[in-house]
């Protein structure tokens, strides 16, 4: 049976891919996207040895090591200075250990954000902090090429983001806090940094030279993790790590000593360059295997012969705010999401990045995914949501099901939400989701609903008031499923941040590509072919 049986009849000359063949190419496409995801970086780091004698530091420009680092702060109205590593101060009457204790004492206890509240709970976070208004430091990441390195890994620029004009994304960096985690019990459990602006894409942590034990920084994304183990070189090295801000991370217990860090917010800003000024570091979307695969797919007349929409869930979550969110993307796209977006864009395909809400809000996705185990070999690609009338010929995708099968008000406690979400079936290789009925695609990033805020309202009402659903003319074929981990973490975002969240929270988005019908896309492909 044809996937698009109702519309293919109008073009009898070219045969449409069989459902089995269509399934097979969707699976392949998913594989390509998956491999892009597993190879994309979400964190990077480095070390800078510190020479104890000032004169040992190399000249700016070729700096591979640093001299001692000064931290200045104010106690009452008196200026204080600590030089790290301890014992490296040129002042004879250093007493640096006393100064370190003084710095720790002068810091305030650091809380964390749980939703809109700031919480002090030393079982979750035990740390002290200084705000930037209270300290200054002689260390700057730019002196050691850290910004360039982070830019390369976390903010690659892909060619062709805009016709004729190249938008170069640059990193803007802002010192945010000084934190001290001290033994025997300093720690910060799993959390996600609260975005401080719509442009924030990541965080940079710089660990100053001061000996400590434990305190590993563990950063996770989509089931992968990077463990920054800084204990062994803590005494005489500056160690740093940068990661996307939607990555879940934690600091293991510091059992001894003081782990002193500077944290920075990383922002993506754009710079317009005309083609004459292109720089060579730019990656060409054609260099990705996905490009060739998608191009070949589009050149098959039978693939989405009458047109359709391909949907892929983003691998990262993006911050959004009420007014300026739509300006955020694609500029703020990260990792594999940027690759997929750019490849589609460079093929001349209309592509949107839009927030998605699955089923009746993301709290109710449990029964919205097709569990492949239920189906037999003989019909490898059944309609997961058969129409009760027995006809499956409604492919305009606008069927809308408002009946609230879930008692929304029963999800008021965070742990209940998480438990509910853990039951999600995401083991099917991919889901072919009936559009409109099960996955709501917002018109822009703007009207996202935070679950906590609307607890007591029936979902249908929330949806009507706060979501304008983007309606595509053709059904959406979802080629990837959202990861269970992502959904769990989306819950955690609401619960634990490094700051209380204001208007900004994260949402998962999807990349939606409008595939023109074969007769319309031939021209487009000829143009791509000739480039
Ligand atoms: O100190 C670190 O390694 C990270 C600190 C952190 O996660 C935070 O301040 O949000
Ligand atoms: Fe953090």
Inform me whether the pLDDT recorded for 488 exceeds 60. Answer: no
Ligand sitting nearest the alpha carbon of 226: 1
Q: Which of 176-185, 294-303, 420-429 has the lowest mean pLDDT?
A: 420-429
What stretch of H or E contains 459?
helix 459-466
- Residue 517 pLDDT: 94
- Residue 346 pLDDT: 85
Instruction: Tell me which residue has its CA closest to atom 4 in ligand 1.
Output: 205
Confidence category of residue 445, pLDDT binned at 50, 70, 90: very low
350-358 vs 439-441, strand pairing mode: antiparallel
Decide: 156 and 339 in contact? Cβ < 8 Å. Answer: no
Residue 191 Cα to ligand 2 midpoint, Å, equals 6
Task: Report the residue among 131, 205, 250 best suited for mutation to probe ligand 1: largest number of ligand atoms under 8 A from its CB.
Answer: 205
Nearest atom (ligand 1) to Cα of 193: 10
User: Residue 340: is it exposed, middle or buried by C-beta count within 10 angstroms (0-12/13-18/19+)?
Assistant: buried
Cβ partners under 8 Å of residue 292, min gap 6: none
Name the one residue in this structure whose structure tokens are 């945010």.
176
Cβ partners under 8 Å of residue 355, min gap 6: 320, 441, 442, 445, 448, 507, 508, 509, 510
Task: Report the residue among 251, 262, 501 best suited for mutation to probe ligand 1: largest number of ligand atoms under 8 A from its CB.
Answer: 251
Inform me whether the pLDDT recorded for 147 exceeds 50. Answer: yes
Helix, strand or coil, per DSSP, at residue 295: helix
Confidence category of residue 176, pLDDT binned at 50, 70, 90: very high
Residue 153 Cα to ligand 1 midpoint, Å, equals 20
Confidence category of residue 161, pLDDT binned at 50, 70, 90: low
Residue 119 Cα to ligand 2 midpoint, Å, equals 15
Inform me whether the pLDDT recorded for 100 exceeds 50. Answer: yes
Instruction: Tell me which residue has its CA closest to atom 1 in ligand 1.
Output: 261
Inform me whether the pLDDT recorded for 58 exceeds 60. Answer: no
CA 121 to chain centre: 27
**Angle value at C-alpha 18, between 13 and 19, nearest 5 degrees:** 140
Alpha-carbon gap, residue 152 to 81, rounded angstroms: 34
Q: Which of 44-58, 78-92, 254-268 has the lowest mean pLDDT?
A: 44-58
Residue 151 Cα to ligand 2 midpoint, Å, equals 19
- Residue 135 pLDDT: 96
Which range, 360-374, 447-461, 517-531, has the best average confidence (pLDDT)?
Answer: 517-531
Residue 164 Cα to ligand 2 midpoint, Å, equals 39
What string of DSSP letters covers 297-313? HHT-TTTTTT-EEEEEE
Domains delineated in the chain? 16-39+284-529 (no CATH), 43-270 (2.60.120)
Ligand sitting nearest the alpha carbon of 208: 1
Inform me whether the pLDDT recorded for 436 exceeds 50. Answer: no
Task: Report the residue among 44, 229, 263 best suited for mutation to probe ligand 1: largest number of ligand atoms under 8 A from its CB.
Answer: 263
Residue 249 Cα to ligand 2 midpoint, Å, equals 6
When pLDDT is averaged across residues 476-503 and rounded to a whole number, the result is 60
Name the one residue in this structure whose structure tokens are 């690659």.
156
Instruction: Tell me which residue has its CA closest to atom 8 in ligand 1.
Output: 498
Global ipTM:
0.98
Nearest CA-CA partner of 366 in 291, 443, 425: 425
- Residue 293 pLDDT: 93
When pLDDT is averaged across residues 71-94 and rounded to a whole number, the result is 81
Residue 81 Cα to ligand 1 midpoint, Å, equals 23
When pLDDT is averaged across residues 179-189 and rounded to a whole number, the result is 97
Decide: 205 and 263 in contact? Cβ < 8 Å. Answer: yes
Nearest atom (ligand 1) to Cα of 249: 7
Q: Which of 14-18, 344-348, 349-353, 416-420 has the lowest mean pLDDT?
A: 416-420
Nearest CA-CA partner of 238 in 110, 364, 441, 70: 70
- Residue 456 pLDDT: 46
When pLDDT is averaged across residues 467-478 and rounded to a whole number, the result is 70
Residue 99 Cα to ligand 2 midpoint, Å, equals 26
Rounded to 10 deg, the angle between the 518-529 and 289-298 helix axes is 140
Inform me whether the pLDDT recorded for 266 exceeds 60. Answer: yes
Q: Which residue has the higher pLDDT, 172 or 198?
A: 172
Q: Which of 152-156, 298-302, 384-388, 401-405 has the lowest mean pLDDT?
A: 401-405
- Residue 443 pLDDT: 46
Residue 192 Cα to ligand 2 midpoint, Å, equals 6
- Here the tokens at position 225 are 């993790």
Nearest atom (ligand 1) to Cα of 112: 10
Inform me whether the pLDDT recorded for 214 exceeds 90. Answer: yes
Nearest atom (ligand 1) to Cα of 228: 3
Confidence category of residue 396, pLDDT binned at 50, 70, 90: very low
Nearest atom (ligand 1) to Cα of 217: 3
pTM score: 0.72
Ligand 1 site residues, Cβ closer than 6 angstroms: 179, 188, 193, 205, 217, 249, 251, 261, 263, 498
DSSP 8-class letter at 348 = T
When pLDDT is averaged across residues 87-95 and rounded to a whole number, the result is 65
Ligand sitting nearest the alpha carbon of 264: 1
Residues in the chain: 531
Q: What's the chain's average pLDDT?
A: 71
Decide: 241 and 204 in contact? Cβ < 8 Å. Answer: yes
Decide: 309 and 516 in contact? Cβ < 8 Å. Answer: no
Alpha-carbon gap, residue 394 to 413, rounded angstroms: 39
When pLDDT is averaged across residues 211-238 and rounded to a whole number, the result is 94
Inform me whether the pLDDT recorded for 422 exceeds 70. Answer: no
Which range, 116-120, 382-386, 432-436, has the best average confidence (pLDDT)?
Answer: 116-120
Task: Report the residue among 193, 212, 257 best suited for mutation to probe ligand 1: largest number of ligand atoms under 8 A from its CB.
Answer: 193
When pLDDT is averaged across residues 211-220 and rounded to a whole number, the result is 96
Calculate what percentage of the chain has a pLDDT beyond 90. Answer: 31
Ligand sitting nearest the alpha carbon of 228: 1
Confidence category of residue 24, pLDDT binned at 50, 70, 90: confident
Inform me whether the pLDDT recorded for 413 exceeds 80. Answer: no
- Here the tokens at position 63 are 């700096």
Residue 148 Cα to ligand 1 midpoint, Å, equals 21
């Amino acid at each position: 049976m044809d996937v698009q049986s109702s519309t293919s009849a109008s073009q009898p000359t070219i045969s449409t891919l069989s459902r089995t063949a269509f399934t097979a190419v969707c699976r392949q496409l998913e594989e390509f996207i998956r491999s892009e995801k597993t190879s994309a970086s979400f964190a990077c780091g480095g070390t800078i040895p510190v020479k104890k004698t000032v004169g040992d530091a190399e000249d700016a420009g070729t700096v591979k090591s640093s001299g001692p680092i000064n931290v200045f702060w104010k106690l009452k109205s008196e200026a204080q200075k600590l030089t790290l590593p301890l014992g490296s101060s040129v002042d004879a009457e250093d007493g640096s250990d006393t100064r370190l204790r003084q710095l720790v004492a002068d810091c305030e206890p650091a809380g964390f954000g749980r939703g809109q509240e700031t919480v002090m709970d030393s079982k979750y976070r035990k740390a002290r902090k200084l705000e930037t208004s209270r300290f200054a430091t002689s260390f700057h990441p730019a002196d050691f090429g850290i910004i360039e390195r982070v830019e390369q890994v976390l903010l690659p620029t892909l060619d062709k983001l805009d016709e004729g004009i190249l938008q170069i994304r640059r990193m803007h960096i802002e010192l945010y806090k000084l934190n001290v985690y001290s033994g025997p019990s300093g720690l910060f459990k799993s959390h996600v940094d609260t975005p401080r602006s719509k442009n924030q894409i990541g965080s940079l942590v710089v660990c100053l030279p001061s000996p400590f034990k434990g305190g590993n920084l563990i950063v996770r994304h989509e089931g992968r993790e990077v463990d920054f183990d800084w204990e062994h070189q803590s005494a005489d090295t500056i160690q740093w790590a940068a990661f996307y801000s939607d990555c879940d991370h934690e600091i293991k217990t510091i059992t001894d000593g003081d782990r002193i860090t500077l944290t920075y917010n990383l922002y993506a800003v754009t710079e317009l360059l005309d083609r004459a000024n292109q720089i060579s570091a730019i990656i060409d979307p054609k260099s990705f295997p996905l490009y060739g695969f998608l191009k070949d797919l589009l050149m098959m007349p039978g693939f989405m012969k009458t047109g359709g929409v391909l949907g892929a869930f983003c691998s990262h979550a993006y911050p959004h705010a009420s007014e300026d969110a739509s300006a955020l993307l694609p500029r703020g796209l990260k990792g594999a999401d940027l690759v997929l977006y750019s490849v589609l864009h460079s093929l001349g395909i209309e592509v949107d990045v839009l927030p998605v809400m699955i089923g009746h809000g993301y709290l109710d996705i449990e029964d919205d995914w097709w569990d492949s185990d239920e189906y037999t070999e003989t019909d490898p690609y059944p309609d997961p949501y058969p129409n009760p009338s027995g006809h499956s010929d409604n492919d305009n995708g606008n069927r809308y099901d408002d009946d609230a099968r879930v008692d929304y008000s029963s999800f008021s406690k965070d742990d209940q939400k998480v438990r509910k979400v853990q039951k999600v079936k995401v083991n099917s290789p991919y889901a072919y989701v009936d559009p409109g009925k099960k996955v709501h695609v917002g018109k822009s990033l703007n009207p996202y609903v935070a679950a906590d805020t609307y607890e007591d309202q029936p979902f249908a009402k929330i949806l009507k008031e706060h979501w304008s659903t983007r309606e595509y003319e053709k059904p959406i074929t979802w080629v990837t499923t959202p990861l269970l981990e992502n959904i769990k973490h989306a819950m955690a975002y609401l619960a634990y941040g490094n700051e209380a969240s204001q208007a900004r929270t994260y949402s998962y988005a999807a990349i939606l590509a409008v595939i023109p019908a074969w007769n319309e896309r031939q021209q487009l492909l000829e143009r791509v072919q000739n480039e």
